[in-house]
């Protein structure tokens, strides 16, 4: 059966198409199960469909509630699989909870038939493979499923080089492996990104390891922009706007004198930690209104951190302008080059998100600076509300920039 490639945002497989799939043997696009508890199996199936090693260019389907022979429920007992809201939410969590990077494009739906209910996960092939689930690159070829070997990871990396469109996975022309800090990559990133057993058994040359993480382009024999940003010995040489400019003004406008100016520049693996410490010690100052009262934060650290992560991940790195992190007497303003991207628009912000730099977002998540995908702005707003701070203002109608104003708790 040939299923037309369809937009996962608005459409999904039809009832008739689904029923036609059930009698078929499992293959590189279909997996069936009656279990509702085997979350590892679910994740491995979703990951393998996203990797699309066979280059079908078509969605894959995880079907929960049918046995291998296509019958509804347990073929021995006749007991049907309960398709609950909790199960559907657990399946949707694979898209945002960080176990799978980069996050897959997928939709989840409950189907009801006279024979019983089914839960279906439709997964689109990733434009930036390889996709990892808990540090493993899961694949399927026909009925065979497992973890990709060296040759298979190379195929996925080369497929990304051909089809990738986002700026962060394009090669930084003129650069070489020597432009990356190998120590930072090996000691800090690889243990966080790759399953320990796979890492221990890894005998591949360094270029291939880095390419499998999307930080090196084998076709061009050069690091990608994401590689230079995360591990570059001098990112500004290739990406002149890749820094954050912090200024603390004495007044409430940019013509005021300023007390402090700091430039955060260098590899992001290091700078993200430096920025975190700076926010905790210099921005989230605690104040006591009256003697004996509890201390309060003028700005909650977690909110400012989330908004800075958002600016770093979503900014347009083709621009030579930096991220502006300005502190005034009464507010903080964070502005980054690049407006809302892709499916994110003023009318659906912040409920709909899209990634200008998906590999960069994956790296920041892998290092533990963000906990889940697509929720940074919501987490920042929740932290401000909990602190009793005013509602932030988002500047979302500009085509070439994105901004947020966080007001000081008075």
- When pLDDT is averaged across residues 129-141 and rounded to a whole number, the result is 90
Chain centroid offset of residue 122 CA: 19
* Residue reference for tokens 């299923």: 3
Q: Does residue 64 sit in helix, strand or coil?
A: strand
For residue 198, the tally of other CB atoms under 10 A from its CB is 14
Distance separating alpha carbons of residues 196 and 297, to the nearest angstrom: 40
* Tokens describing residue 103: 């996050």
Contact 236, 265 (CB under 8 A): yes
Distance separating alpha carbons of residues 410 and 406, to the nearest angstrom: 12
pLDDT at 290 over 70: no
Check residue 262 and give its pLDDT. 96
Evaluate whether residue 158 is within a structural domain.
no
Contact 231, 184 (CB under 8 A): yes
- When pLDDT is averaged across residues 102-108 and rounded to a whole number, the result is 89
pLDDT at 289 over 90: no
Distance separating alpha carbons of residues 313 and 309, to the nearest angstrom: 6
- When pLDDT is averaged across residues 18-43 and rounded to a whole number, the result is 92
Please indicate, yes or no, whether residues 250 and 316 belong to a single structural domain of this protein: yes
Specify the pTM.
Answer: 0.71
Chain centroid offset of residue 168 CA: 13
Please indicate, yes or no, whether residues 182 and 45 belong to a single structural domain of this protein: no
pLDDT at 174 over 50: yes
Please indicate, yes or no, whether residues 212 and 342 belong to a single structural domain of this protein: no
Distance separating alpha carbons of residues 149 and 3, to the nearest angstrom: 29
CB under 8 Å to 187, separation ≥6 — which residues? none
Q: 63-96, pLDDT tens digit by residue? A: 999 999 999 999 889 899 999 999 999 999 998 8
Please indicate, yes or no, whether residues 30 and 113 belong to a single structural domain of this protein: yes
Q: 309-326, pLDDT tens digit by residue? A: 999 999 999 999 999 999
Distance separating alpha carbons of residues 151 and 364, to the nearest angstrom: 27
Confidence of residue 203 (pLDDT cuts 50, 70, 90): low
Diameter of the chain measured on Cα atoms: 78
Please indicate, yes or no, whether residues 256 and 210 belong to a single structural domain of this protein: no
Contact 334, 307 (CB under 8 A): yes
Check residue 372 and give its pLDDT. 75
Mean pLDDT score across all residues of the chain? 88
CATH number of domain containing 273? 3.30.565.60
For CA atoms 128, 93, 21, 6, give the dihedral sign. negative
CATH number of domain containing 55? 3.30.950.30
Check residue 399 and give its pLDDT. 82
Domain of 136?
A: 15-145
Q: Which helix (H) or strand (E) holds 163?
A: helix 150-163
pLDDT at 279 over 60: yes
Evaluate whether residue 292 is within a structural domain.
yes
Please indicate, yes or no, whether residues 169 and 226 belong to a single structural domain of this protein: yes
What single-letter DSSP state applies at residue 169? Answer: G
- β-strands 323-327, 244-249 pairing: parallel
Please indicate, yes or no, whether residues 249 and 233 belong to a single structural domain of this protein: no
pLDDT at 39 over 60: yes
pLDDT at 9 over 50: no
Distance separating alpha carbons of residues 372 and 86, to the nearest angstrom: 19
Contact 260, 248 (CB under 8 A): yes
Q: 292-310, pLDDT tens digit by residue? A: 566 678 899 999 999 999 9
- Report whether the peptide linkage leading into residue 350 is cis, meaning its omega lies within 30 degrees of zero: yes
Confidence of residue 395 (pLDDT cuts 50, 70, 90): very high
How many distinct structural domains can be found in the chain? Answer: 3
Confidence of residue 369 (pLDDT cuts 50, 70, 90): very high
Among the three residues 207, 238, 269, which one is the final residue of a domain in this structure?
238
Please indicate, yes or no, whether residues 284 and 136 belong to a single structural domain of this protein: no
Please indicate, yes or no, whether residues 342 and 391 belong to a single structural domain of this protein: yes
Distance separating alpha carbons of residues 30 and 395, to the nearest angstrom: 43
* Tokens describing residue 352: 């709909």
What single-letter DSSP state applies at residue 180? Answer: B
Distance separating alpha carbons of residues 408 and 410, to the nearest angstrom: 6
| Cα–Cα nearest to 29, from 9, 50, 14, 43 | 50
Evaluate whether residue 186 is within a structural domain.
yes
CA dist 333 → 46, 178, 286, 336 (Å): 39, 36, 19, 10
Q: 177-194, pLDDT tens digit by residue? A: 999 999 999 899 988 888
Please indicate, yes or no, whether residues 273 and 309 belong to a single structural domain of this protein: yes
Distance separating alpha carbons of residues 73 and 62, to the nearest angstrom: 15
Distance separating alpha carbons of residues 208 and 363, to the nearest angstrom: 17
Please indicate, yes or no, whether residues 315 and 292 belong to a single structural domain of this protein: yes
Check residue 94 and give its pLDDT. 92
Distance separating alpha carbons of residues 43 and 343, to the nearest angstrom: 25
Among the three residues 179, 204, 238, which one is the final residue of a domain in this structure?
238
Distance separating alpha carbons of residues 362 and 341, to the nearest angstrom: 17
Please indicate, yes or no, whether residues 105 and 131 belong to a single structural domain of this protein: yes
Q: 216-265, pLDDT tens digit by residue? A: 998 899 999 999 999 999 999 999 999 999 999 999 998 889 899 999 99
């Amino acid at each position: 059966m040939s299923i037309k490639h369809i937009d996962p945002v608005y459409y999904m497989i039809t009832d008739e198409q689904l029923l036609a799939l059930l009698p078929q043997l499992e293959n590189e696009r279909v997996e069936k199960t009656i279990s509702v508890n085997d979350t590892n199996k679910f994740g491995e199936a979703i990951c393998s469909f996203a990797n699309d090693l066979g280059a079908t260019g078509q969605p894959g389907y995880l079907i929960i509630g049918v046995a291998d022979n296509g019958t509804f429920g347990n073929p021995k007992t006749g007991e049907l699989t309960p398709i609950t809201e909790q199960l559907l939410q657990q399946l949707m969590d694979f898209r945002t909870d960080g176990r799978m990077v980069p996050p897959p494009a997928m939709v989840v739906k409950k189907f009801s038939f006279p024979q019983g209910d089914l839960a279906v996960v439709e997964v689109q092939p990733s434009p930036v493979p390889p996709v990892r689930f808990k540090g493993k690159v899961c694949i399927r070829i026909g009925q065979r499923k497992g973890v990709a070997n060296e040759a298979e990871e190379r195929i996925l990396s080369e497929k990304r080089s051909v089809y990738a469109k986002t700026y962060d996975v394009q090669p930084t022309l003129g650069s070489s492996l020597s432009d990356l800090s190998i120590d930072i990559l090996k000691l800090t990133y690889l243990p966080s990104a790759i399953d320990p057993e796979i890492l221990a058994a890894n005998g591949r040359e360094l270029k291939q390891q880095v390419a499998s993480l999307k930080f090196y382009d084998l076709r061009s024999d050069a690091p990608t922009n994401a590689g230079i940003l995360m591990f570059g010995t001098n990112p500004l040489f290739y990406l002149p706007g890749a820094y954050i400019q912090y200024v603390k003004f004495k007044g409430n406008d940019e013509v005021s004198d300023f007390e402090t100016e700091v430039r955060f520049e260098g590899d992001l693996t290091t700078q993200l930690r430096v920025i975190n410490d700076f926010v905790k010690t210099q921005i989230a100052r605690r104040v006591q209104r009256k003697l004996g009262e509890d201390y309060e934060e003028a700005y909650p650290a977690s909110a400012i951190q989330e908004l800075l992560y958002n600016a770093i991940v979503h900014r347009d790195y083709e621009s030579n302008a930096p991220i502006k992190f300005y502190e005034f007497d009464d507010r903080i303003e964070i502005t980054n080059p690049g407006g809302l991207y892709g499916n994110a628009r003023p009318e659906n912000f912040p409920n709909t998100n899209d990634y200008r730099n998906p590999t960069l977002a994956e790296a920041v998540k892998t290092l533990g600076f963000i906990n889940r995908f697509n929720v940074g702005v919501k987490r920042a707003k929740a932290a401000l509300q909990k602190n009793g701070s005013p509602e932030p203002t988002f500047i979302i109608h500009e085509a070439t920039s994105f901004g947020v104003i966080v007001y000081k708790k008075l």
